[in-house]
Amino acid sequence: MAKSKTPSARIRTKGERRAAGKLLRNKCPREAHAKVIIGTDAGRDVIKLIKEQNRDRLENLVPVRHGRMSQSAFAFFRGTAGVQAHDLAGTPHSGIIVQACGDCHLMNFGGFATPERNLTFDINDFDETLPAPFEWDIKRLAASFIVAARWRGFKAADARRIAVRMVRAYRESMLERVDAGVLEAWYSRISFADIKTIAGDDAEAVGRIEDLEAAAQQRTHENVFAKLVSSDGGKVHIVDEPPLIYHPDDREVTLEVITKFLADYRETLPEERQMLYDRYHFVDLALKVVGVGSVGTRCFIVLMLADPDDPLFLQIKEARPSVLEPYVPKSARAGALAGHNGHRIVLGQRLMQAASDIFLGWATGSAGGRDFYVRQLRDMKVAAVVETQSPSMMRAYAKLCGMGLARAHDKAGDAAQIAGYLGKSDAFDEAIGDYAEAYADQVERDYAAFVTAIRSGKLVSDTMPGALEAVLR
């Protein structure tokens, strides 16, 4: 038998990859990440950028979106991933490209059930995922902690410590992960038992974790069924709660359209899960308003039944182009768009999450040709309650988020190269702390401009924030 003439590429060692990452400091010193470069171009008009993100959203829900964003600077920050993406594009970057979350703020982490029904902690929102510089996720996450801490009324020193603690946890976790094998990185996850270990003898933290575990057990399809579904004359249906839950116009979403969409979605599932899916039958569909940044996009909940008391709820969520897309090099995103934004999101989620929803898939809507992705609704999903966190609790949560982000970047990237760039000192940590504080200042200026636009009628909102109303009167 003739020997293969195909040459085998030399495999770079971890040490070589780490050294390559360290060399990138010459091009982009770690201290350079402290810079916030906003720019003066016309595109930086924050109201213009928000209006661009509103394009093609459901017009009746845009005021709801603005109303939710107007509640605080933190709520505003959650709804403006596109604004920060614009700003990040002008900052120095390492050149290390990973599968990025794209909207990596502290409320996009949480607990959910793995396919084995174990609770895990991870990133849980991938609408904006795309290959991008690894530090973009870190910068958005760090800024979110500063903005949230200020909203909670924490001292400036405490707010900075929280953000820097997140970065340090990311860096230290990445350094530790260098020695792990590729499969170990792929299989690793953060369980709630791990979180309790991190909490140690902090009784308050352990209590919060146990509360989240208990809450997760209540967020099942059966409990959702009792809250969202009614039976009139023997006909089971989702209960309307306008404007947040309502049935769409039958002319827009017919049974034929739904049937075709679900059939196409089914084909994106692995074969064994297709067989599982086939045991359920479509019953009803309704529009449901979700989140802050997602308000106004088309999001449906679907009720399916295997038996009268055996429900499955699916969420069909519109998949729009990533806010990162205009700002990352074509070479970086080549092949990542997958020709379908729903597919892009599913691919990014599977790459970054430790374990993904068994019903995760995608399809194209026949009305308007919009892209969608599909997942389970509320399958033991829980999130931290930021409104009640003390500075010490938020600092512990920040550490957890930093560890989770490092795990995700390692799974979809190269820990050795990232660790080589970050190094063992706190140079990167402090630089990001500087960035997060400065960018939080910019968020507050943008928020004031946003509220002013609502008051002047340039933007329509269903509510008006009382505190700033008094300030700006």
Q: Is the pLDDT of residue 132 over 60?
A: yes
Is residue 267 one of the residues assigned to a domain?
no
> How large is the average pLDDT for residues 39-46?
67
469 pLDDT tier (thresholds 50, 70, 90): very low
pLDDT band at 342 (very low <50, low <70, confident <90, very high): very high
Q: Is 137 inside a domain boundary?
A: yes
Confidence of residue 4 (pLDDT cuts 50, 70, 90): low
Find the helix or strand (DSSP H, E) in which 278 lies.
none
Residue 318 lies in a domain: no
Helix/strand/coil percentages in the chain, nearest 5: 50, 15, 35
Is 50 exceeded by the pLDDT of residue 332?
A: yes
pTM score, whole prediction: 0.92
Q: Is residue 366 part of a domain?
A: no
**In this structure, is residue 309 part of a structural domain?**
no
In a domain, 456, yes or no: yes
In a domain, 291, yes or no: no
Using one digit for the tens of pLDDT, what is the confidence trace for 227-273? 888 888 778 999 999 888 999 876 667 888 899 999 999 999 999 99
Sheet holding 371-376, edge to edge: 245-246, 281-288, 299-307, 310-318, 371-376, 361-364
Q: In this structure, is residue 60 part of a structural domain?
A: yes
Q: Is 422 in a helix, a strand, or coil?
A: helix
Please say whether the beta carbons of 381 and 112 come within 8 A.
yes
Q: What is the pLDDT of residue 6?
A: 60
Q: Is residue 472 predicted with pLDDT exceeding 90?
A: no
Got the DSSP string for 364-389? E-TTTT-EEEEEESSSS-B---GGG-
* Strands of 59-160, DSSP E: 97-100, 109-113, 119-123, 130-133
Number of domains in the chain: 1
Residue 38 vs residue 317, higher pLDDT: 317
Which residue segment(s) compose the domain that 395 sits in? Answer: 22-217+386-472
DSSP letters for 209-230:
HHHHHHHHHH-SHHHHHHHHEE
pLDDT for position 471: 33
